[in-house]
Amino acid sequence: MRQSKLFTKTDKSAKEFESVNATLLQKGAFIKQVMAGVYEFLPLGLRVLAKIENIVREEMDKIGNEVLMPSIAPKELWEQTGRLEKVDVLFKASGANKASVEKNNAEYVLNSTHEEVVTPLAKSFNQSYKDFPFAIYQIQTKFRNEARAKSGLLRGREFRMKDLYSFHVSEEDLKRYYEEAKKAYTTVFERVGLGDDTVIALASGGDFTKDFSHEFQTRCETGEDIIFYSKKLDIYFNREVAPSKAPSLNDENEEIKAREDVVGKGIIGVQELADYLKIPVEKTTKTLIFETDKGEIIAAAVRGGYDVDEGKLLKIIGAKSLKLASAETVKKITGAEVGYAGILNLPAEVKVYIDESVANRKNFECGANKTDYHSININFGRDLPEPEKVYDFKVAKEGDMHPETGEVYEVFRAAEVGNIFPLNTKFSEAFDYKYTDENGKEQIVYMGCYGIGTTRIMGVIVEKLNDEKGILWPEQIAPFKVHLISVRTDDEAFEKAEKLYNELTEKGIEVLWDDRAGVSAGEKFADADLIGTPWRVVVSAKTGEQVEIKKRSESESKLISKEELYTALGY
């Protein structure tokens, strides 16, 4: 393509956004923000996106049938699964003005995901065991009513993704296919250039399954997720499900001190409390009083410096939801205002859950259950009985160990680029999707779902592969393979460049030819670095019969012959 034919222009001095991908992709004129979380894909950006989506399509075609489901759907489908009121990013579509409402006064869901659409679709075609297994996927625009969207292509109100759904006669067959999908995903991430840095992490199965789901997480300093890696087990955990053991604080030489209740009125936060009491944060204890959906009141204590992971806690107590108890309830239970709750002397009806980080300490602090007071030098076995059982319901943090191996986790930030989910029977039950088995008996269908954010991949790649000059696209998804630059557009150099452009293009090599007049060589080079095409080829009066070639990732250019150029480009 001739650069003079692009309606867009790079803008090196454009606004800096909060995220690197938003900034670089807009400076390079790949995308343009229409509103927070909503972008236009400009000619260069659309080329990248199409390449990513073609790679995804090629791999998905090996394991499923491509379809295109609609963005709008009847509300009834979402009512049937109970998700119409639950999914907190769901949009609806309705008439935008009086005339439109008068024409058709209806409301539809704008699908944020397509289980509600694909399940009835699958059911309409396949109800005999002979039809199974099968899988259906699409590459499509999705809508999510996000509160904030400041991460460029990493989190959008409108974005593109590939979603695949599989259908099985048994959990075993679902598991078999699940592994097949995992492999296909691994290939996709290898092909788009993220293979080396992308790992499969265990994550929560949500309310679909007691099993884990799996996330494909790409190491990325600006990613939203934190991954815990156990080298001994060779398992990656999303923080939300990382089993964790806090560093032990048991010092054999530490002597047991006398318990004291000290005044500490209005002290907010464990760090402030530790400073005030002149003890390490690790010696403090955070005790939270919760009410469960079953109406129970529980106390949950973690070591100071940790937070309670409600997801982990819910599984332990076997409840569906939790909320912090009201000030009134706290006062009734602990006898004190909020802020002084501890694990001492709680009424018998309050079940106390103690995180393992609370135990294995001597002389620790906890709320005195007395307004304005904190108890210090508390010790199990003396001030309260040794806990019968300790749990792990804290949010894991750097320095924690895997409880079984005792090995300290490697911890790193990552961006989720894909996830796969055993849905099991959640949606087939909602839509009464059964198949008839070999004996004529009806059996419930098992399902899995598998997502890849294609626009997100584009954002993650830019977050990872950039330098001070611009983007470094992996060759397989770069907008062009070669950025051909004709310097000083005197007739001869221009004609030489045009000839090379035509030759390369005829060979099927994708070339962006900077044929613009009145633009300096320096500007053209800076543009090439910003746009980030893998190969820069310069033709000028100076280069004679040769061309100057430079890889975007290298700093040295060299003069080579045309034959050498084709060899370098793999032709």
C-alpha distances in Å from residue 138, one per residue of 383, 428, 445, 453: 61, 20, 21, 12
C-alpha distances in Å from residue 353, one per residue of 289, 325, 383: 10, 15, 17
Contact flag: residue 95 with its own copies (CB under 8 A): yes
Classify 322 as helix, strand or coil. strand
Q: Which of residues 34-73 bind its own copies (CB under 8 A)?
A: 34-35, 38-43, 46, 49, 65-73
Nearer to its own copies, 69 or 317 (CB): 69
Q: Is 381 buried (19+), middle (13-18) or exposed (0-12) by CB count in 10 A? A: exposed
Running DSSP on this structure, what letter comes out for residue 422? E
- Asked if residue 122 lies in contact with residue 115, where contact means CB atoms within 8 angstroms, the answer is no
Contact flag: residue 316 with its own copies (CB under 8 A): no
Select from 51, 157, 483, 496 the one that contacts its own copies (CB under 8 A).
157
Contact flag: residue 520 with its own copies (CB under 8 A): no
Q: Which pair of tokens denotes residue 332?
A: 């009734």
Contact flag: residue 92 with its own copies (CB under 8 A): yes
Contact flag: residue 158 with its own copies (CB under 8 A): yes
Nearer to its own copies, 2 or 219 (CB): 2
Select from 56, 60, 109, 461 the one that contacts its own copies (CB under 8 A).
109
C-alpha distances in Å from residue 417, one per residue of 148, 161, 195, 210, 476: 19, 10, 11, 23, 17
**Span of 3-11, 224-232, 353-361, 379-387 interacting with its own copies by CB under 8 A:** 3-11
Nearest distance, CB of residue 216 and its own copies, angstroms: 24
Nearest C-alpha neighbor of 160 from the set 56, 22, 81: 56
Nearer to its own copies, 93 or 384 (CB): 93
C-alpha 349/C-alpha 191 separation (Å) is 57
Select from 12, 15, 58, 125 the one that contacts its own copies (CB under 8 A).
125
Select from 22, 25, 60, 90 the one that contacts its own copies (CB under 8 A).
90
- Asked if residue 213 lies in contact with residue 421, where contact means CB atoms within 8 angstroms, the answer is yes
Contact flag: residue 359 with its own copies (CB under 8 A): no
**Span of 5-13, 238-246, 253-261, 351-359 interacting with its own copies by CB under 8 A:** 5-13
C-alpha 422/C-alpha 568 separation (Å) is 45
Contact flag: residue 32 with its own copies (CB under 8 A): yes
Contact flag: residue 134 with its own copies (CB under 8 A): yes
C-alpha 371/C-alpha 374 separation (Å) is 9
Phi, then psi, of 500 in degrees rounded to 5: -65, -40
**Span of 121-129, 237-245, 318-326, 411-419 interacting with its own copies by CB under 8 A:** 121-129
Q: Write down how long the chain is.
A: 571
Select from 15, 58, 82, 86 the one that contacts its own copies (CB under 8 A).
86
C-alpha 64/C-alpha 5 separation (Å) is 38
Contact flag: residue 523 with its own copies (CB under 8 A): no
Select from 88, 254, 307, 467 the one that contacts its own copies (CB under 8 A).
88
Nearest C-alpha neighbor of 286 from the set 141, 393, 435: 393
Site residues, its own copies (CB under 8 A):
5-9, 29, 32, 34-35, 38-43, 46, 49, 65-74, 78, 84-100, 102-104, 108-110, 117, 121-122, 124-126, 131, 134-136, 141, 143, 145-147, 157-158
